[in-house]
Amino acid sequence: MVAKNKAIFLDRDGVLVKSIIKNKKGYAPRNMSQFSLYPDIAKSCKRLKKKNYLLIIISNQPDLGKKLIKKKIFNKMNRILNSIIFYDKLYVSRSHSSNSYFRKPNPGLFKLAIKKYKLDISKCFMVGDRKSDIDAASKVKCKSIFINRKYKEEKPKEQITQVYSFKKAVDVILQKG
């Protein structure tokens, strides 16, 4: 079996969905009043789809595991997101343990997607706003782009470039892909 598909792995919060900023760190929205999307995502995702990229969201959601957000609210957020960008798959880790194979920076959810969609990882990119996103991509040898949202936390080092918006990340993908 020859892998031929290509995908863009997307972190959800901080890449597509605006994070809630507390003490210069980004957190996932927990209710609908906190939920908002970055303005450029629909057009940017459409550009990726036109180039036959699958859009696969890989998201750590420990608040879901801790029941700090209701599953019904979380699902509603994702339905709205899907109605705007038409993603192909959403993979979620509910774990808050760094030992979980399926929680970024570990590669478990990436490996599930690679197998399910028969991805050629050399044609894939990860777009993330945290070191854990970039480190997880690196573990499966996926090129990555870091969106620097200026959080007060350790920055990644293994990305192919750093940008400050999703639109710029898509520009880079379309130039290099």
Looking at the domain assignment, is residue 154 inside a domain? yes
Two structure tokens written together for 144 = 């990555």
Looking at the domain assignment, is residue 1 inside a domain? no
Look at residue 177 and tell me whether its pLDDT is greater than 90.
no
A 10 A CB-CB count for 79 gives: 10
Look at residue 3 and tell me whether its pLDDT is greater than 90.
no
Look at residue 140 and tell me whether its pLDDT is greater than 80.
yes
Looking at the domain assignment, is residue 17 inside a domain? yes
Look at residue 114 and tell me whether its pLDDT is greater than 90.
yes
Looking at the domain assignment, is residue 157 inside a domain? yes
Q: Given this model, what pLDDT does residue 11 score?
A: 98
In a 13 Å sphere around the CA of 78, the CA atoms on its Cβ side amount to: 19
Look at residue 1 and tell me whether its pLDDT is greater than 50.
no
Look at residue 4 and tell me whether its pLDDT is greater than 90.
no
pLDDT in tens, 9-57: 999 999 999 999 999 999 999 999 999 999 999 999 999 999 999 999 9
Looking at the domain assignment, is residue 45 inside a domain? yes
CA-based nearest residue to 147, from 129, 160, 170: 129
User: Which whole-number Å values give the CA distances from 53 to 11, 19, 66, 103, 140, in the listed order?
Assistant: 15, 25, 33, 24, 18
Domain span including residue 72:
7-176
Look at residue 139 and tell me whether its pLDDT is greater than 70.
yes
More confident residue, 177 or 124: 124
pLDDT in tens, 68-112: 999 999 999 999 999 999 999 999 999 999 899 999 999 999 999
Q: Given this model, what pLDDT does residue 115 score?
A: 97
Count structural domains, the chain.
Answer: 1
Looking at the domain assignment, is residue 20 inside a domain? yes
Looking at the domain assignment, is residue 91 inside a domain? yes
Looking at the domain assignment, is residue 2 inside a domain? no
Look at residue 2 and tell me whether its pLDDT is greater than 90.
no
| Residue 151: CATH number of its domain | 3.40.50.1000
